[in-house]
């Protein structure tokens, strides 16, 4: 069991659709699952990170669908 978490920024609806298409090609439905979470602007403002990482989201790169 691998419970990895990956953070990405999707900059357009077309990019989101292309990402889903590519991920579906890699997915093995009987053993894999992917979960997507919509992060609203209010949630972005409440997000933080620990350590020396950059801010979790770049304001100019956030798009909401």
Residue 3 lies in a domain: no
Domain with 55, as residue range(s), is: 9-16+34-65
Residue 44 lies in a domain: yes
Considering its fold, how many domains does the chain have in total? 1
Residue 50 lies in a domain: yes
The rounded distance, in Å, linking the Cα atoms of 46 and 26 is: 33
Q: What pTM was computed for the model?
A: 0.60
Triad 8, 6, 2: Cα angle to 5°: 160
Residue 42 lies in a domain: yes
Looking at residue 5, what DSSP letter applies?
-
The rounded distance, in Å, linking the Cα atoms of 24 and 46 is: 31
Residue 27 lies in a domain: no
pLDDT, tens digit, for every residue of 3-62?
777 778 788 889 889 999 999 999 998 988 888 887 877 887 787 778 887 666 665 554
Residue 56 lies in a domain: yes
């Amino acid at each position: 069991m691998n419970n990895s978490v990956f953070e990405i920024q999707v900059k357009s609806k077309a990019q989101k659709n292309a990402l889903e298409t590519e991920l579906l090609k890699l997915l093995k439905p009987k053993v894999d699952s992917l979960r997507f979470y919509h992060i609203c602007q209010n949630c972005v403002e409440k997000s933080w990170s620990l350590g020396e990482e950059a801010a979790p989201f770049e304001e100019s790169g956030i798009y909401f669908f």
